[in-house]
């Protein structure tokens, strides 16, 4: 599965469990760590965990085992590492504070590369 197809799968899995404000960031030109980042919000700690669990389950079903999951114990910000796609699911206040979309969507020329999913 290529990185674009994996990102599509992630977005579909997030939409299945009613994630809010899903954004896909193409970071291929900014880092070699991953190709895409997907940022989404959940309405509560339990919702954030449910969103990440659904993405991990769908990825496993597609034959793409997650490398790691960080932040599950708190549930305010959970990071799911799928190698070619990093998934950040946060509570809205945490997301607003860290503003990953702005951090990762500014290219060296100042052009935004974020797209609403």
Tell me, what's the pLDDT at 32? 85
Q: Where are the domains of the chain?
A: 3-116
DSSP, residue by residue, 7-69:
HHHHHHHHHHTT-EEEEEEE-TTT-SS-SEEEEEE-SSHHHHHHHHHHHHHHHHHTT---SEE
Q: Kindly indicate whether the domain formed by 3-116 is annotated with CATH number 3.30.460.10.
A: yes
DSSP 3-state of 103 = helix
Cα–Cα nearest to 87, from 62, 67, 63, 102? 67
Q: Quick check: 72 and 49 in contact, CB under 8 A?
A: yes
pTM of the full predicted structure? 0.86
CA-CA-CA-CA torsion sign (96, 44, 25, 35): positive
Residue 96 structure tokens: 């607003």
Segment-wise mean pLDDT, segments of 10 residues, the chain, 117 residues: 90 96 89 90 95 96 93 91 94 92 65 51
């Amino acid at each position: 599965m290529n990185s674009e197809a994996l990102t599509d799968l992630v977005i579909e899995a997030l939409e299945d469990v009613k994630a809010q404000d899903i954004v896909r960031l193409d970071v291929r030109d900014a880092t070699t760590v991953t190709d895409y980042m997907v940022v989404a919000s959940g309405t509560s700690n339990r919702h954030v965990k449910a969103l990440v669990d659904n993405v991990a389950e769908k990825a496993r079903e597609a034959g793409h085992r997650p490398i790691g999951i960080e932040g599950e114990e708190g549930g305010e910000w959970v990071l799911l590492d799928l190698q070619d796609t990093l998934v950040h699911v946060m509570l809205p206040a945490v997301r607003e504070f860290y503003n990953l979309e702005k951090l990762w969507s500014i290219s060296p020329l100042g052009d935004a590369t974020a797209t609403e999913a």
